[in-house]
Structure 1
Amino acid sequence: MDYESNSWIWEGVYYYPHLFGGLMVTAALLGLSTSYFGVIGVPSLPLPCSWYNLGKKKKTGKRRVRVYMDGCFDLMHYGHANALRQAKALGDELVVGLVSDEEIVANKGPPVLSMDERLALVSGLKWVDEVITDAPYAITETFLNRLFHEYNIDYVIHGDDPCLLPDGTDAYAAAKKAGRYKQIKRTEGVSSTDIVGRIMSSLKEQKICEDRNGTDVKPQEECQSKVSHISQFLPTSRRIVQFSNGKGPGPNARIVYIDGAFDLFHAGHVQMLKRARELGDFLLVGIHSDETVSENRGNHYPIMHLHERSLSVLASRYVDEVIIGAPLEITKDMVCPRFCIICISFKLLAIVIGVLTCTHHSFFSIYFTLFFITTNFSRVLK
């Protein structure tokens, strides 16, 4: 009787090992977790149901979107900068393809600037993360695959203006076919062709006036008037904000000031601004007015409008802020915080003066040759 009354004990001894073994096998198949209870070292059995993880956000790093935009970028201007700004807004990292000199000659004619000059200009923009040199003018399927696999490009970007090859086909047909093409709006009012036209017009008018100086024609009446090649482009406050860093100097920032015309922004300007920025923590750039430039360089200058020049400088990765229409001479008002808001924000530590020289063989060969710092403001204040 005793044996029969305790039979459930013996049955348990028989079945429990099987039950325990089954649980262990199940746990092994599903996998053990140590994070369910929130304590390391406490094993738990994760639920196999997919709905269990719906409310849980995976802590995986989001892949950065890389976009690609190519171009000749000859005679770099604010339109180029705005295009690259828009392209960068479509991704996290912007890779720029710089078309080779040979490709430009074959498709558009000889470039004005060399590859090295164009590379300095493009890489000096604040929105550019990487540059691919000697890129092809047309994006073929072979180059497109290289972009996707070697450079991890997600999308190819171009403006809404047509880009046709000499045979009339679309240069971006392969990217569009692959479904990896995105389009941005072209900046109206400026182009490299337009700038070349302004330069030629300025040189022609200058030559005519120089020739008339030796004749009976009164050059003062016909040559002193402001020339008409200057663009009437006026930026909106929104465009200026888009180009701006949006940050002022810190409380203990070393602020460096440099000014100039910065007409036809070129590689020499980039190098100058880079070296100026290395001297402090915040670079403030003064852009001379059109009237100031004309008075000092001649009635046929500047080629670029004040606001065009300001945007070109503001697009530089080395520039933190600009003063549009800055005076030629540094005044006490610009340094002393008693007179204007600008000077309250910009307490200058150093004034950097660049000496520019122009070589005879190239209209664009203006190079920065010398830097010096003066902390004796009495030498420059008027």
Structure 2
Amino acid sequence: MSLEKQDRVFIDGCMDMLHHGHSGAIRQAKLLARHLVVGVHSDEEISFNKGIPVMNMDERCTAAAAVKWTDEVARDAPYAISLDFIDDQGCHYVVHGDDITTDANGVDCYQEVKDKGRFMVCKRTPAISTTDLVGRMLLHSREHHYGPRSEIPYSAEHLELYKNYATGPDAETPMTQVYRYRDGQAQMLVDGQGPSASQEVVYVDGGWDLFSAGHIEVLKAVKDQNRFVVVGIHEDRTINQHKGFNYPIMNLKERTLTVLACRYVDAVVMSVPFETTKAFLATLPFTVQGVFHGPLPLPAEQHGYEDVMDMLQIVEHHRFEELNAGTIVKRIIARSDEYLERQRKKGIKATNEAVLRAAEVGEASKA
């Protein structure tokens, strides 16, 4: 398949608890498209073909639309893609990962477009899936956490990922800057586009765990008036010290990649301190003029903003303000039996899909 960019390309998915695997696939699809349409399956389609989704339709569409490589969102995309639906979207090609996804009947969801030569493949992101994240919550796993001062998030392999996810809306041009805060200094990891002379530079920090519409609405509000938004991301240990249990559900690398994919973010600083102080802000390569926090302030003893109260602005209330990592975990636990059954069925489904994929690869090798 030619890598020449097409006018309109389609990629779809559940986009449930949207993570860097989803956004990575969207980025790869954007490399093939001048205009990328992202289809999002309905709650009913997901429940019938895969199992109950964690996030509802509005939450999933909001997350998909916030990915900076998304040009358009198509709600209620069918789980099994038809040529008629793709034609209605004005797209010639459909992009999907190099695995096989089957419907409730065990049939390849993309067989119709594959048969007509209108299917393009992107590389599936390993070691991350909604199923994995649900499993971490159900099993209370901490194996995904990085230890204090771990260098794993800063390996050459991960730096290359940050570079890819820091690209702009065309998925190629460097845009978002990435820094690491360590020993009182902000070290640049990925260069990008700095603030213009007219932009107000503002800072907003957090764990950004299970990045969702709740986080997105905050960042969208902060970005208002074309501010240059610097996002601080806490280390795994910092979050665990304050939230306990097996938080964060996503580790530092996973959270950084998901934040980088958001269109409302201009710079990311990894491993920032929990306490936001003027001394810390002075170490950043920007003159920070404002500090923001979401509409649900932390308890006074965990505030972390005492030194910057004269700079602090609280984001106004929004429709997703109750949505955060804690409420998402509560959704899973409240329906744990259903999600355990979903995990079991997913395992059986994955075995069947692996068999179909092996057969497909075998046929391709004979061609």
Same fold (TM over 0.5): yes
Which SS does the other structure have where 1:236 is aligned? Answer: helix
**1:70-219 mapped onto 2 (5 Å cutoff):** 70-143=12-85, 147-148=86-87, 150-202=88-140
Counterpart contact for 1:231–1:304, Cα < 8 Å: no
In structure 1, how many angstroms separate the alpha carbons of the residues matched to 2:105 and 2:210?
33
Please tell me whether the aligned partners of residues 256 and 284 of structure 1 are also in contact (alpha carbons under 8 angstroms): yes
The one of 138, 143, 166 aligned to 1:228: 143
Contact 2:94 2:118 in 1 (8 A): yes
Work out the CA distance in 2 between the residues paired with 1:192 and 1:299. 20
Q: Secondary structure at the match of 2:222?
A: helix
| Partner secondary structure for residue 92 of structure 1 | strand
Query: Which of 347, 350, 366 is equivalent to 2:287?
Result: 347
Alpha-carbon separation, structure 2, partners of 1:199 and 1:277: 31
- Once the two structures are superposed, the pairs formed by residues 246-325 of structure 1 within 5 Å of their partners are 246-278=192-224, 280-325=226-271
CA distance in structure 1 between the partners assigned to 2:63 and 2:252 by the alignment:
19
C-alpha separation in 1, matches of 2:116 and 2:100: 18
> Which residue type is aligned with residue 237 of structure 1?
L
Runs of 4+ in 1 over 6 A off after TM superposition: none
State the match for 2:361 in structure 1: none
Look up the match of 1:241.
163
Task: Report if the CA contact (8 A) 1:285-1:319 is conserved.
Answer: yes
Partner of residue 356, structure 1 = 296
1:64 Cα deviation after fit: 5.9
C-alpha displacement at 1:176, in angstroms?
A: 1.2
| TM-score normalised according to structure 2 size | 0.69
Q: Measure how far apart 1:166 and its partner are.
A: 2.7
Name the aligned partner's letter for residue 190 of structure 1: I
- Report the Cα distance in structure 2 between the residues aligned to 1:317 and 1:229, rounded to whole angstroms: 26
Deviations, residues 281-322 of structure 1 (Å, cap 9, x unaligned): 210000011111011111421111011111111110101111
Kept in 1, the 8 Å contact 2:146–2:252? The answer is no
Given that residues 257 and 283 in structure 1 are in contact (C-alpha distance below 8 angstroms), is that contact kept between their aligned partners in structure 2?
Answer: yes
Contact in 2 for aligned 1:349/1:375 (Cα 8 Å): no
Contact 2:256/2:270 (8 A) holds in 1: yes
Q: Structure 1 residue 228: deviation in Å?
A: 2.6
Hey, what's the Cα distance between the residues in 1 that align with 2:54 and 2:162?
28
From the superposition, tell whether residues 164 and 356 of structure 1 become closer, same or farther in structure 2 (CA, over 3 Å).
same
Q: 1:98·1:119 contact (CA, 8 Å) conserved in 2?
A: yes
Following superposition, the deviation at residue 247 of structure 1 comes to 1.2
Conserved in 1, the CA contact under 8 Å of 2:93 and 2:118? yes
The answer for unaligned runs of 5 or more in structure 2 is 167-174, 176-191, 299-307, 314-367
Contact 2:230 2:265 in 1 (8 A): yes
Unaligned runs of 5+ in 1: 1-61, 206-226, 359-373
Q: In structure 2, what is the equivalent of residue 38 of structure 1?
A: none
Q: Secondary structure at the match of 1:348?
A: coil
Shift of 1:174: 1.2
After superposition, the Cα gap between the structure-2 partners of 1:264 and 1:378, relative to the gap in structure 1 and judged at 3 Å, is closer
Q: 1:63 to 1:291 in 2, by over 3 A?
A: closer
Pairwise CA distance, 1:329: 1.3
CA distance in 2, matches of 1:170, 1:136: 13
- Cα distance, 1:331 vs structure 2: 2.7
Paired residue type of 1:346 = F
Alignment check: 8 A CA contact 2:260 2:268 kept: yes
The structure showing larger relative contact order (alpha-carbon pairs under 8 Å, at least 6 residues apart) is 2
**Cα–Cα, structure 1 residues 378 and 300, in superposed 2: closer, same or farther, change >3 Å?**
closer
CA–CA distance in structure 2, aligned partners of residues 78 and 260 of structure 1: 18
The residue that corresponds to 1:331 in the other structure is 277
Write the distance in 2 (CA, Å) between the matches of 1:125 and 1:300. 27
Aligned to 1:13: none
CA-CA distance at 1:280 after TM superposition: 4.7
Q: Would you say the 8 A contact 1:283–1:321 is kept in 2? A: yes
* Larger Cα-atom Rg: 1
> CA 1:378–1:302 in 2, change beyond 3 Å: closer, same or farther?
closer
CA shift at 1:140, angstroms? 2.1
Moved more, 270-279 or 180-189: 270-279
CA RMSD of aligned residues (A): 2.5
**Residue 252 (structure 1) shift:** 3.3
SS at 1:278 equivalent: helix
The superposition leaves residues 46-90 of structure 1 with CA deviations (integer Å, 9 ceiling, x where unpaired) of xxxxxxxxxxxxxxxx99611100110111111111010001111
